[in-house]
Structure 1
Amino acid sequence: MTGVVEPGMVLLADSDFYSFELFNRFAVTGADLIWHVGARRCQWAWCGGCPTGPTWR
């Protein structure tokens, strides 16, 4: 499936399709990714010491 995705495309995915491995496979295609991920599926970490300033990751 990643073979048909390319830069300039927007890929939408619902929370039932979330996996870190799948996200990374699509991220390297250069497409823009918009993925809905439920708050219970991820553990968010606050990165206050990032070189670019405070961000969520």
Structure 2
Amino acid sequence: MQFREPHDPDVVYLESMTSSLYVESDAEIYRYTLAFDHLRAAALGTEESKSVIARSAERFT
């Protein structure tokens, strides 16, 4: 999570089935940011995603 106010530092929030964790270390936040950026770059665009979802839904109807 990123905040507009400079006195509110960035934080990574991780949630699992039984617990949650706030990561506040700059080095760890950087690694999570990098991983998220790679996932976002590999993701389909909006229209492509809609098409994949629609094709998948057709298989179940």
The TM-score bracket by the shorter chain reads: under 0.3
- Return the index of the structure with the highest Cα Rg: 2
TM-score (structure 1 length as normaliser): 0.23
